[in-house]
Each structure stands twice: as structure tokens, then as C-alpha cells.
Amino acid sequence: MNAIDKLRSLITEIVNGAPDQHRTLGGKYISFGCQQCVDDLETRITDAAERRDSLVHRSDARTHYNGLLKVLRRDLRAARKVQDSE
């Protein structure tokens, strides 16, 4: 692998995160499934649910937050599964 390919690979990893990594709200990459990851996902879910609940029913913004919550809850289940298997 030449220097340009290594640089592209590094930039891609920084932008997308490594496959087994989770990016916290603070921007730090941590291991997916660790306790800090689970805590971060729970915090995000709480924040998103509070924001969603403050919105008017049947609005586009509320629908957006419902979709976001669905993804966050799926990620939390996966992180807990990883945590339980360790």
C-alpha cells in the first residue's frame, strides 16, 4: 500500500469511524459495546425523546425524531448484546 492509499484509508477511518467503534457526543471514538458506549446511547435516547415529546403531534420534526429514536434504540440493543457476550 502506497502513501496515498494509507492516507485515504486513514481519512476514511476518521470520517466513518472504525467498524467496531462508537463516536460519543464529545467526538471521542470508543469501543462499541463498552459501558461508556451504552451510557452515551442512553443519553442520546433520553435527549431525543424529550425533544420529540415537546413537538406538535404529526409534525415532520416529530416523525424525524421517531426515526432517530428507532435507530438509537436498535444501536443500544446491539451494544448491550456485545456487552453481554463479553
Q: pLDDT for 19-47, tens place per residue?
A: 688 999 998 999 999 999 999 999 999 99
- Cα–Cα dist 49/63, whole Å: 12
Measuring CA to CA, which residue among 15, 22, 27, 30 is closest to residue 72?
22
Domains of the chain: total = 1
pTM of the model: 0.76
What percent of the chain lies above the pLDDT cut of 90? 63
Would residue 16 count as lying in a domain? no
Would residue 33 count as lying in a domain? yes
- Cα–Cα dist 59/8, whole Å: 41
| Other Cβ atoms closer than 10 A to 78 | 13
Residue range(s) defining the domain that contains residue 63: 22-85
Beta bridge partners of 29: 23
Residue 21 pLDDT: 87
Would residue 11 count as lying in a domain? no
